[in-house]
Amino acid sequence: MGFDQFLSSPEMEILIITHRDIFQSAANSDSRFSDDYANLTAIIRLDKQDMKKAGLKEGNLVTIENSAGKVVVKALQSTYEEPHPGTAYMVNGPWVNALVSAETSGTGVPAFKYIEAKMKKSKESSITSFE
C-alpha cells in the first residue's frame, strides 16, 4: 500500500488563457460529446517548470477550481518555446467555460481570456463529464 493517497499535491495559482484549435473544431463538427472532442478540449497546457513544480507528468489529471466552477482535465506540457510560468492555455470548450465567471464588469462579455484559478493534481480517475 502506497502513501500517495494520503499526501496532498501542491496547489498552485494559474492564469488560464483560452484559444481556438483547428483540430478541436474539426472534432466538434462530429459531436461535442465524442471522445475525439474531449481528447482535444479537456486539456490544459502548462509551462514545463510549472508541471515540475506541481509534481505533474504528461497526461496526469488535474483539478482546476475557482469561484465559477471546478473541472478535471488532462495536463500536457505547453508547446510554446518561451517560458510562461503561471500562465496556462486551454482550448475553448465546456471544460474551460465551467471556469468562466458570469461577472462582466458592465461590458456584457465574460473574461474568457483571463481566468484565474487554482490547480492541483487530481485524485479523480477521469475528466469531468458534460453528457
- State pLDDT tens for residues 9-68: 789 999 999 988 767 666 555 666 678 888 888 999 999 999 999 999 999 999 999 999
Question: For 32-44, what is each residue's pLDDT tens digit?
Answer: 667 888 888 899 9
Instruction: Please give the share of the chain, as a percent, with pLDDT higher than 90.
Output: 57
**Is 11-121 assigned to CATH 2.40.40.20?**
yes
Q: How many whole angstroms separate alpha carbon 34 and alpha carbon 29?
A: 10
pTM: 0.85
